[in-house]
Amino acid sequence: MRRAERLFQIVQLIRGRRLSTARFLAERLEVSERTVYRDVADLMAQGVPIEGEAGVGYRMHAAFDLPPLMFSKDEARALVASVRVAQSRLDTALAAQAEAALSKILAVLPPASRAAAESLAIYAPPVGPDTATRERLQVLREAAESRRKLRLRYLDLKGRVSERCVRPLGCFFWSEVWTLAAWCEARADFRNFRVDRIEQVELLAQTFRDEPGRTLADLFRQVEGEMAARDMSTDA
């Protein structure tokens, strides 16, 4: 990779994340951390508004932007594949936005790149969640994004019905089903709810803030700890 291209990729990686460490950048670019430090210092000297420092991480100033980018043939094909695979599995609103975004991208591509992308021999049959589940998924996703609490009426695998007040943290797709990861206030713990088993969902006026031990990052750490403990038990 030429240095000019590497500098461009560094800018792209930093502005696409809240915080990028030198180790992360070095791994993505397949260079040493020393090279990353030098390149970032050069970019900052050229006036690129990168904030941060070595040993901590870097982020881009919010006001910084680059001119529209042109996609390569392979990048355009990857976008088409992603939308085709995901579209029938997303909620209706997000699926429509994905299609609209892809149409805008294809419209500005050179003819050869557009033809290569549209002729991609990868297709995904429309075998996703039913309409009711997709509509419910939209409510859950938007609640997680707006930090609004939810009241759920949930039917578990044993046929038991319960009502829960939860803090929605994120929606996860597991090849066949969607689940909602949430902090359940009744159980004072994290819980996962299959979206197709949520009988009713009510968007509450109450909002919530991140609190130690109740965030999505805390859930990820808990799962990683459980997996590590399971692996150690298996090895023993």
Whether 182 and 221 have beta carbons less than 8 Å apart is answered as: no
What is the predicted pLDDT for the residue at 65? 58
What local confidence, expressed as pLDDT, does residue 235 receive? 63
User: What are residue 161's DSSP bridge partners?
Assistant: 155
Q: Which residues pair with 193 in a beta bridge?
A: 180
DSSP per residue, 206-217: EE----TTSSHH
Model pTM score: 0.69
Query: pLDDT of the chain along its 236 residues, tens only?
Result: 678 788 888 888 888 788 899 999 999 999 999 999 999 999 888 888 888 877 778 988 766 655 555 677 888 889 899 999 998 899 999 999 999 988 888 887 778 888 888 899 998 888 778 889 999 999 999 999 999 999 999 999 999 999 999 999 999 999 889 999 999 999 999 999 999 999 999 999 999 999 999 999 999 999 999 888 887 776 65
Using DSSP's 3-state secondary structure scheme, residue 51 falls into strand
- Tell me, what's the pLDDT at 196? 94
What pLDDT sits at residue 236? 57
Would you say how long the chain is, in residues?
Answer: 236
